[in-house]
Chain A
Amino acid sequence: DTGVSQDPRHKITKRGQNVTFRCDPISEHNRLYWYRQTLGQGPEFLTYFQNEAQLEKSRLLSDRFSAERPKGSFSTLEIQRTEQGDSAMYLCASSPRGPNYEQYFGPGTRLTVT
């Protein structure tokens, strides 16, 4: 399967713990996006990478959130000191460079903070 993959698919953690999610984009896609989706809502943009550079961050991305894409390939999203409000589906998407390409989404990581 050459689609976007995310790991883990599900994560249950206790409030206050740190969690890290991984996204592997489609090979040679140099743009990578993170979104968050809560129940009953559409996905919300969190941040965007072009190669290894993080070019845009939403104000939703508080200081407890950090994302990296160290070699311009896979990306990680870390949440420190998790809160119950962080419970959501975290979606990753990738696209080729260019003005008008669609984004390909992974299956998401569902986070539950207890």
Chain B
Amino acid sequence: DAKTTQPTSMDCAEGRAANLPCNHSTISGNEYVYWYRQIHSQGPQYIIHGLKNNETNEMASLIITEDRKSSTLILPHATLRDTAVYYCIVRTIQGAQKLVFGQGTRLTINP
């Protein structure tokens, strides 16, 4: 079972920041937080990952709370092409490192 809890759906206006929350209260010390998204009819796409520090790349920022029990993915200037299902995944770096997907958050960017 997935170790994360996410809202089922969210809406955001185009051009605004989209903030997607994720709860992972049972995360272990050696587990990373990964975010993927899946645009309709495509395979999932990696966005960002982190252990305990905040991370930023060209796509998004990841804010992880100090106790690591929750995180927020931030898309700073959402566009219509960011409409997708966003998956928050807790993943160990040991073993096969398979991804365990939950239901994700369906983010809709509105014009």
Measured CB to CB, the residues of A under 8 A from B are 4, 31, 33, 35, 41-45, 48, 55-56, 91, 93, 95, 99-100, 102-108
Contact = CB atoms under 8 A, between A and B. Distances in A.
| Chain B interface, >50% SS class | loop
Contacts of B43: 4, 91, 93, 105-108
B99 interface: yes
Interface residues of B, number: 23
Contacts, number: 52
Contact of A105 (B45, B102, B103): B45
B42 to A, nearest CB: 6
Contact of B101 (A42, A106, A107): A42
Nearest to B32: A100
A42 B97 CA distance: 17
Given A102-B49, A108-B42, 4 more contacts: A43-B99, A45-B99, A95-B97, A99-B97
B21 interface: no
A45 B100 CA distance: 7
Contacts of B103: 41-42
A45 B85 CA distance: 18
Interface string B17-50: 0000000000000001010000000111110010
Contacts of B101: 42-44
A3 to B, nearest CB: 9
B57 to A, nearest CB: 11
B93 A33 contact: no
